[in-house]
Amino acid sequence: MNYYNEIKNELINNEITKRVKDYSKNRSDLTTYYNVGKLLSDAGKHYGEGVIKEYSEKLIKELGKKYSIRVLYKMLKFYNFITDKKLPTVSAKLTWSHFDELLKLKNINSIYYYMLISDQQNLSVRQLRERIKNKEYERLDDITKEKLMSKKVTTVEDFIKNPIVIKNSINKEIISEKALQRIIMEDLPSFLKELGNGFTFVENEYKIRIGNSYNYIDLLLYNIKLNCYVVVELKVTELKKEHIGQIEVYMNYIDKNLKDIMQDKTIGIIICKKDNKFIMEYCSDKRILNKEYKFV
């Protein structure tokens, strides 16, 4: 078998397909580079690893500079990844450029995570690169990572990051909940993405009346996947036990006065400067989540 001619024909056919059928060029790229990777793997078994350098030099002369040694190694790595992990299908939303970013990662479970969110959230390559840079996977808890590793069912709550990254444009220490809220509102879309999937904004400083006094929920959100309201309370201190009681009152108020019969019970998220695992250990309400924040 002439491995070089097979590889050259795969690449030429891919170039033709991309010019003639623009709508299918992504699938053509992935299929072609997988096939080339397989051929390189087989050729390497027969002729040694040096065959990649030899083939690259020939391809550059005949087809152009873009088929460097580095690029051919990427195709081989792509083939090995798909084969070793026995992936049955590759999402049509993921391009070769997505995989170029993903295969730079060393942790296979982080690759699975970023593949999942790229597919679910239709991330561009630039957005994917930003999410990797922000170390989203590293900020998931160990239970969620274990679920991803064993391919167990995950929930929306699993993907709320810890700590939550908040962009601080004023670059000053924040000493009040009001100031923290204003910073979040400056770039609300980024904050909602930090929380994960399906979160939408309802209102900040949401006014509720309890008895003869008025209270204000820092952020009232809705999650379309969980089909429920989400009460968010912001704290610029360490988590305290009274914060649990406060958010429970707000959650119960929303359930009684805003939630309808078709919606699920309200959940609560306390975002604070410092976690207190001891308090959360004795919090019996599993609808309440506690996350830290950090500024960038």
Q: How far apart are CA 66 and CA 59, in angstroms?
A: 9
SS3 call for 162: coil
Q: What is the pLDDT of residues 224-237, one digit of tens each?
A: 999 999 999 999 99
Give me the pLDDT at residue 87, please: 67
* CA nearest neighbour of 157 among 242, 243, 255, 265: 265
Say what the pTM is.
0.82
pLDDT band, very low/low/confident/very high, at 22 (cuts 50, 70, 90):
low
* pLDDT interval class at 75 (50, 70, 90): very high
pLDDT level of residue 17 (50, 70, 90 thresholds): confident
Position 116 confidence tier, pLDDT thresholds 50, 70, 90: confident
Residue 277: what pLDDT? 87
Count the neighbouring beta carbons within 10 Å of the beta carbon of residue 256. 9
Rounded mean pLDDT of the chain? 92
Strand partners, 217: 206
pLDDT range class, residue 89, cuts 50, 70, 90: low
pLDDT of residue 88: 58
Q: List the structure tokens of 173.
A: 């220490």
Q: Whose CA is closest to 183, among 166, 160, 196?
A: 166
185 pLDDT more than 70? yes
- Cβ atoms of 174 and 183 closer than 8 Å: yes
Sort strands 164-166 and 288-295 into parallel, antiparallel or unpaired. Answer: parallel
Provide the pLDDT confidence category of residue 86 given band limits of 50, 70 and 90: low
Q: What is the SS3 string spanning the chain? A: CCHHHHHHHHHHHHHHHHHHCHHHHHHHHHHHHHHHHHHHHHHHHHHCCCHHHHHHHHHHHHHCCCCCHHHHHHHHHHHHHHHHCCCCCCCCCCCHHHHHHHCCCCCHHHHHHHHHHHHHCCCCHHHHHHHHHCCCHHHCCHHHHHHHHHCCCCCHHHHCCCCEEECCCCCCCCCCHHHHHHHHHHCHHHHHHHHCCCEEEEEEEEEEEECCEEEEEEEEEEECCCCEEEEEEECCCECCHHHHHHHHHHHHHHHHHCCCCCCCCCEEEEEECECCHHHHHCCCCCCEEEEEEEEC
- What domains lie within the chain, and their CATH numbers? 3-139 (no CATH), 157-295 (3.40.1350.10)
**Residue 207, pLDDT score:** 97
Short-list 29, 6, 13, 10, CA closest to 90: 29
Find out whether 107 and 137 touch, Cβ atoms under 8 Å.
Answer: yes
d(CA 124, CA 230): 28
* The pLDDT of residue 21 is above 70: no
